[in-house]
Amino acid sequence: MAGVFGNPEVVEEEVDILLIGGGMGACGAAFEAGPWLDQAKKAGFDIKIKLVDKAAMDRSGAVAQGLSAINTYLGPNDPADYARMVSNDLMGITRDDLAYDLGRHVDDSVHLFEEWGLPIWKQPGDEGKPLVEGGKPVRSGKWQIMINGESYKWIVAEAAKKALGTERIQERVFIVKLVNDKNDSNRIAGAVGFSTRDHKLFVYKFKACLLVAGGCVNIFRPRSVGEGTGRAWYPVWNAGSTYAMAAEAGAELTMMENRFVPARFKDGYGPVGAWFLLFKSKAINAYGEEYLSKPESQALLEPYGPYNRAYVTPSCLRNHVMLNEMLEGRGPIYMDTVSALGKLAETMTPKEIKHLEAEAWEDFLDMCIGQAGVWAGENIEPEKKNSELMPTEPYLLGSHSGCCGIWVSGPTDLGAPTSEGHAEADKVPGHLPSGWNWGYRSMTTVKGLFTAADGVGASGHKFSSGSHAEGRLAMKAMIKFVMDNKDHKPELDTSVDQLMEEIYRPVRNFLENKDYTTAIDVNPNYITPRMLQFRLQKIMDEYVAGVATYYRTNAKMMEVAEHKLGMLKEDALKMRAKDLHELLRAWENYHRILAAEAHMKHIQFREESRYPGFYYRMDFNTVDDQNWKCFVNSVYDKSTKSWTVFKRKHVDLIDKAVSYK
């Protein structure tokens, strides 16, 4: 890649709406724009939209490799039940308004995917019958359906591109920061980024922006190091941009203490959902015991009260039991693929058995090819040999089985609790608890800044389909916002020269110091982004409940982490970029540091262990509903580089008791 010398060419553009990201959320928003732009045009508004993605939309984001299941498809299920499941899995602290709203809209996105060509498995007799015409899907679980999804992202991106028009899409532009409005510090006016291919700086001005740059990966030292570096479960190119840029713009974050530590097939990070739910496989310890249902394990879960009594044991509690097995010396843990496939084969013909084995491989080939590589490389035939399971390093995300993210305005037509404390969300319209709605669905606390998917906190379990649906909801609200603010003129609070100066600092660090030493990577005046990332991962791993401490931390350890992260933030200004690729890596790391800091600050603030199995505050190792059944939110002040963390009241809008055993 070309070296970077001198100032880049500056490309300035003013639009009404900027979409940052090209993943599932952004594709949903782009698709939704089509009909609404036409409507607006008829009403005399010509709304300009641009989508920028740091990669190429066909394979960008979490769905890059494809998926083998759509994890949120309601069908005949009740959205209130869906909101219950989301809440229980996330230990009781989610926004029922957001989950319910998603539940009632998500199926439409799935129907569109099928219309656009995504093959969805159907039950015998219903092959070829679309879902909208009553075709019955093959469900792996109550909420999940199976797909042949290797080309899932291509299909969804194609529809988004078609709806928006390729002239409105700019690929390979990495957005570094949002710029607030000169006349209103709590309003968003622009964004700035650079091309990862050409020596160009892009400065966008807009009335509204959808920030959907995914979750955050690689802030913890991954289990795969050395030759395995770069292998992770969630996509390594989700670098915390959503959380960091929103925080710097002043948006309130929520539940940043939450993380997802998925149990995965060891070394390849292969997903387990299809194995547990479709193939009815069990996790066993080294001695062949199905440990989850053992009385000792159940006793271990007893202190976790109502959450443990949910029909499906929450993901973190399943991990809690697995970790206990490992700590007690009964590891390794295995997915008992042999028994599961053997049992299914009992009633099958040899041809059907071959088909089943092919499906087992396809589950990985569709979405996690590396795991199929591990099977091939280690001579694992799942019908003959069990595979190891392992809890991974932690990930920050708001769309999968986690709920960190940004605090957003909820839908206007959903209800509040009655005086008895509970009401079905859809039965009492128009009364969300105070602070849950300020006009536009999915708008953050910063005017004009919207988010969706991994960006929206305090919900979760949206997955690919829900992320797409949430992008669509946000787009509708943004169009309304733009029309309501049609005379607003955005003005950047920072000059383009200043922005360029800041963004190209890593390049200057390199150019000004590179001749000081003969080894390009060793220099007292700069640090390579790669080395800085190792430092961040070491701090987080060792002090903020990474795998090194079996996900344990305490206030004292976080004091150390706080100090070290502060110094790392300072040193981050010394990152070097010898080419555009390193400039990208430098800014990704900057975003990671802020996201990591938010995570640490929130864990520090929440004096309980809300998610045993995901992390433990050993100094407060219980779930304390009395003091902590609340949201933990925060606001970052970019001028002082400090966080204010605080509680927000949690309210159940939907009665959860019906989901307990």
For the bound state, the minimum distance from the C-beta of residue 278 to ligand AMP, rounded and expressed in Å, comes to: 9
Q: Map residue 636 onto helix, strand or coil.
A: strand
In the bound state with ligand AMP, the residue whose beta carbon lies nearer, of 88 and 537, is: 88
In the bound state with ligand SFD, the residue whose beta carbon lies nearer, of 257 and 363, is: 363
Q: Contact at 8 Å (CB) between 199 and 9? A: yes
| Cα–Cα–Cα angle for 76, 400, 302, rounded to 5 degrees | 85
For the bound state, the minimum distance from the C-beta of residue 121 to ligand SFD, rounded and expressed in Å, comes to: 13
Q: Which of 333, 348, 380 has its CA nearest to residue 279?
A: 348
For the bound state, the minimum distance from the C-beta of residue 654 to ligand SFD, rounded and expressed in Å, comes to: 23
535 binds, among ligand SFD, ligand AMP, none (CB under 5 to 8 A by kind): none
- Is residue 606 involved in binding ligand SFD (CB under 6 A)? no
For the bound state, the minimum distance from the C-beta of residue 234 to ligand SFD, rounded and expressed in Å, comes to: 5
Q: In what order do the strands lie in the sheet with 200-205?
A: 9-14, 200-205, 184-195, 173-181
In the bound state with ligand AMP, the residue whose beta carbon lies nearer, of 353 and 365, is: 365
368 binds, among ligand SFD, ligand AMP, none (CB under 5 to 8 A by kind): ligand SFD
- Is residue 70 involved in binding ligand SFD (CB under 6 A)? yes
276 binds, among ligand SFD, ligand AMP, none (CB under 5 to 8 A by kind): ligand AMP
- Beta strands of 54-212 (E only): which ranges? 67-70, 145-149, 169-171, 173-181, 184-195, 200-205, 208-211
Site stretch for ligand SFD (CB under 6 A), options 99-107, 201-209, 457-465, 553-561 = 457-465
Tokens of 224: 């795969």
Query: 199-216: buried (b, 16+ CB within 10 Å) or exposed (e) per residue?
Result: bebbbbbbbbbbbbbbbb
613 binds, among ligand AMP, ligand SFD, none (CB under 5 to 8 A by kind): none
The binder of ligand SFD chosen from 24, 169, 256, 404 (CB under 6 A):
24
For the bound state, the minimum distance from the C-beta of residue 224 to ligand SFD, rounded and expressed in Å, comes to: 14
- Is residue 212 involved in binding ligand SFD (CB under 6 A)? yes
241 binds, among ligand SFD, ligand AMP, none (CB under 5 to 8 A by kind): ligand SFD
In the bound state with ligand SFD, the residue whose beta carbon lies nearer, of 237 and 551, is: 237
477 binds, among ligand SFD, ligand AMP, none (CB under 5 to 8 A by kind): none
Helix (H) or strand (E) holding 152: helix 152-164
312 binds, among ligand SFD, ligand AMP, none (CB under 5 to 8 A by kind): ligand AMP
Q: Which of 250, 255, 259 has its CA nearest to residue 177?
A: 250
Name the H helices within 213-366: 241-248, 273, 295-301, 305-308, 315-327, 337-345, 350-365
In the bound state with ligand AMP, the residue whose beta carbon lies nearer, of 152 and 481, is: 152
Q: Which residues 390-419 are close enough to bind ligand SFD by CB under 6 A?
A: 399-400
524: phi then psi, degrees, rounded to nearest 5: -70, -15
Identity at 219, one-letter amino acid code = I
Name the H helices within 366-521: 369-377, 463-484, 496-503, 505-513
Q: Dihedral of the CA atoms 429, 430, 435, 436 (nearest 10)?
A: 50
52 binds, among ligand SFD, ligand AMP, none (CB under 5 to 8 A by kind): ligand SFD
Tokens of 579: 């080419």
Contact track, ligand SFD, 340-369, x by CB under 6 A: ---------------------------xx-
- Is residue 213 involved in binding ligand SFD (CB under 6 A)? yes
Q: Contact at 8 Å (CB) between 30 and 57? A: no
Q: Which of 228, 231, 206 has its CA nearest to residue 218?
A: 231
Closest-by-Cβ residue to ligand AMP is 273
The binder of ligand SFD chosen from 87, 196, 313, 465 (CB under 6 A):
465
Number of residues that bind ligand SFD (CB under 6 A): 42
How many CB atoms sit inside 10 A of residue 575's CB? 25
User: CA 523, CA 514: separation in Å to the nearest integer?
Assistant: 8
Closest-by-Cβ residue to ligand SFD is 23
240 binds, among ligand SFD, ligand AMP, none (CB under 5 to 8 A by kind): none
Show Cβ contacts of residue 291 under 8 Å, excluding neighbours closer than 6 positions. Answer: 283, 284, 285, 297, 321, 322, 325, 330, 333
Show Cβ contacts of residue 109 under 8 Å, excluding neighbours closer than 6 positions. Answer: 28, 465, 466, 468, 469, 472
For the bound state, the minimum distance from the C-beta of residue 394 to ligand AMP, rounded and expressed in Å, comes to: 15
In the bound state with ligand AMP, the residue whose beta carbon lies nearer, of 273 and 433, is: 273
The binder of ligand SFD chosen from 265, 463, 526, 543 (CB under 6 A):
463
Task: State how beta strands 387-391 and 184-195 pair.
Answer: unpaired
Contacts 24+ apart (CB under 8 A), 419-424: 421/652, 422/652, 422/653, 422/654, 422/655, 423/653, 423/654, 423/655, 424/80, 424/654, 424/655
Residues at the site binding ligand AMP, with contacts judged by CB under 6 A? 71, 141, 144, 262, 271-273, 276-277, 312, 315, 318, 401
User: What residues make contact with ligand SFD under the rule CB under 6 A?
Assistant: 20-26, 52-55, 60-63, 67, 69-71, 174-175, 212-214, 233-235, 237-238, 241, 271, 273, 367-368, 399-400, 453-454, 463-465, 467
